[in-house]
Amino acid sequence: MASIKYEIVEHIGVLSENSRGWRKELNRVSWNDAAPKYDIRDWAPEHEKMGKGVTLTEAEADELKRLLDR
């Protein structure tokens, strides 16, 4: 399996934390040197491991906000 390169370019906030210290975070992340996207996923305490998540483009994040504001 190919390795995945990532860089958290902006930490926006923590949505929740579980009993093991993993936090569900909203960040802007650059995956494999691509333009950063909004990213929601679980992270281990030092960001050394991650769970499955969802990435959103700027347009998708705007649409999600519009839907949530209804």
List pLDDT tens digits, range 6-16: 999 999 999 99
- The CATH architecture that domain 6-68 belongs to is Roll (2.30)
The residue ranges of every structural domain in the chain are: 6-68
- Long-range contacts of residues 3-8, Cβ cutoff 8 Å, at least 24 apart: 4/31, 4/32, 5/31, 5/32, 5/33, 6/30, 6/31, 6/32, 8/47
Phi, psi of 66 (to 5 degrees): -60, -45
pLDDT at 1 over 70: no
With bands split at pLDDT 50, 70 and 90, how would you rate the model's confidence at 24? very high
- Could you read off the pLDDT of 29-67 as tens digits, one per residue? 999 999 999 999 999 999 999 999 999 999 999 999 999
pTM here is: 0.90
